[in-house]
A = this chain, B = another copy of it.
């Protein structure tokens, strides 16, 4: 059939996959960021830190960075802000005094318990816009693309 022996040479931004995915993700992020900000005065980065520590307490900053796909500078700043606001407790690990041990304070847990439903409700509405089949497809696709070594593309 000889389809695609030579590269397609036209490009329309509207149909360009990386562009579409990026625009979509930004739209979702901005909306969610707005909610966290107005309701809890929390940034997305801070939300992510709360989220992993709510689920798994006593992580180090590096572990948080790993689980949140954030870089260590961003984690450091989010952690310090959350600590200064009283939502996080941070102390040094006994065995290794470089490492910090992070966990939610009582107040942090309270905020966490309020913010999680907001996040989940947003996700639920998003999911509700899709059929069960589409949702399955979405999971399949995300899993597959997530597994790719994008650098190598």
**Chain A interface (Cβ within 8 Å of chain B)?**
4, 7-14, 16-29, 31-32, 48, 51-52, 54-55, 67-69, 116-117, 119-127, 129-130, 134, 137-138, 140-142, 144-146, 148, 150-151, 153
Beta-carbon contact of B140 and A134 below 8 Å = yes
Residues on B with beta carbons closer than 8 Å to the beta carbon of A27: 150
Beta-carbon contact of B146 and A141 below 8 Å = no
5 contacts between A and B (CB under 8 A): A11-B54, A17-B138, A26-B69, A31-B151, A122-B153
The oligomer's copy count stands at 2
Beta-carbon contact of B13 and A122 below 8 Å = no
Beta-carbon contact of B130 and A16 below 8 Å = no
In the bound assembly, the distance between CA atoms of A20 and B117 in angstroms comes to 18
In the bound assembly, the distance between CA atoms of A46 and B81 in angstroms comes to 34
Q: Which residue of chain B lies nearest to A52 when distances are taken between CB atoms in the complex?
A: B13
Beta-carbon contact of A28 and B22 below 8 Å = yes
Residues on B with beta carbons closer than 8 Å to the beta carbon of A23: 69, 146
Say whether, besides A31-B150, A123-B17, A117 and B12 are in contact (CB < 8 Å): no
